[in-house]
Amino acid sequence: MICDNCGSKETYVKEYHHKYNDIEFYSKRRFCSKCNNLVYDEELDNEASKKAIREKNKILGVDPDKIIALRKKYNLTQEQFSKIIGCAKKTLISYEQGTSVPNDIYIVTLKMLLENPNIIKPMIESNLSRYSQEEYQKITSKLSIIYDEEDNKKENQELSKYNGYTEYSLSKVKNLILYLSQNTILKTKLLKELFYCDFISYKNIGKSITGLEYKKYQFGPVPRNYEQILNKLIQSKSISLNLIIDSDYECNQISSIEKPNTKDFAKEELDIINRVIKYFKNYSSKKIVDYSHKEKAFTDTKENNLISYDYAFDIEDI
């Protein structure tokens, strides 16, 4: 590399303090050894201008790393996220890579999204024409999973005797339901088996498996928001629900569609789950309901109230 100023070929690289208007940063630049003039170096100069754009974006409140983190949080593709913002996909890519400074209009949108990610849903709703029906469904189903997870985190943040002092895990709830319904199971029976898996786990290893809370309903202990949980799994096509009419009995049958991920469970948890399945293998819905009605967890809890995991110690080993 040659110095434009004096023609010398001797150059050196040093950390340079850049300061223009409101931005300030350090990056390596090349200088002439004779006259100390700045010497053009494609690689270093590109790096410096990238840094300049990054710094500028940070000051504007649209830090590329935060944009990527926000998009990933909602599990959105660049294509989907660019539609939400209203820009072209390649424009979003340049913001994420920090190779360009967003236009004023996109800055406003991006800042709003970064400051308050909850507006993502209303933003989609107010620009429905941007999405095909399929895209809309894909995006909103991704969002609903995140929103539900956040809701559950909020609700269940405090560890207590009602969740078995265990943090709620949506993925464990899902995998446990998938595991229990592998060979098709009646809904009522599934709800009871969830209860036994969690309570026996609490009794044996001091923690529930899923962190679910259980309520006393007239037909036994059931996960507090089981309708919501099952609906979500049906919507995401993880399980299917079939109404079967068995003699004069009306029953809901649940079958897993997705394969459970057993790696989600510790070995001792899986052992408990298998014991519960084996024990109730030949139980009808009615029989397991009657069985659960004898538990202190059921008899000593008021209807519609949460059941304390303390009662786990009164449950017979299975």
Q: Which residues bind Zn ion (CB under 5 A)?
A: 3, 5-6, 8, 32, 34-35, 37
Shorter beta-carbon distance to Zn ion: residue 32 or 315: 32
Shorter beta-carbon distance to Zn ion: residue 6 or 105: 6
Shorter beta-carbon distance to Zn ion: residue 32 or 277: 32
CB 35 → Zn ion: shortest distance, Å?
Answer: 3
Shorter beta-carbon distance to Zn ion: residue 11 or 184: 11
Shorter beta-carbon distance to Zn ion: residue 12 or 313: 12
CB 73 → Zn ion: shortest distance, Å?
Answer: 50
CB 3 → Zn ion: shortest distance, Å?
Answer: 3
Shorter beta-carbon distance to Zn ion: residue 6 or 257: 6
CB 40 → Zn ion: shortest distance, Å?
Answer: 12
CB 30 → Zn ion: shortest distance, Å?
Answer: 11
Strand partners for 223: 214
CA–CA distance, 53 with 100 (Å, rounded to integer): 6
CB 48 → Zn ion: shortest distance, Å?
Answer: 19
CB 77 → Zn ion: shortest distance, Å?
Answer: 49
**C-alpha 308, offset from chain centre:** 28
Shorter beta-carbon distance to Zn ion: residue 3 or 200: 3
**C-alpha 245, offset from chain centre:** 37
- Which residues, in sequence order, are CB contacts of 110 under 8 Å at separation 6+? 62, 67, 85, 95, 102
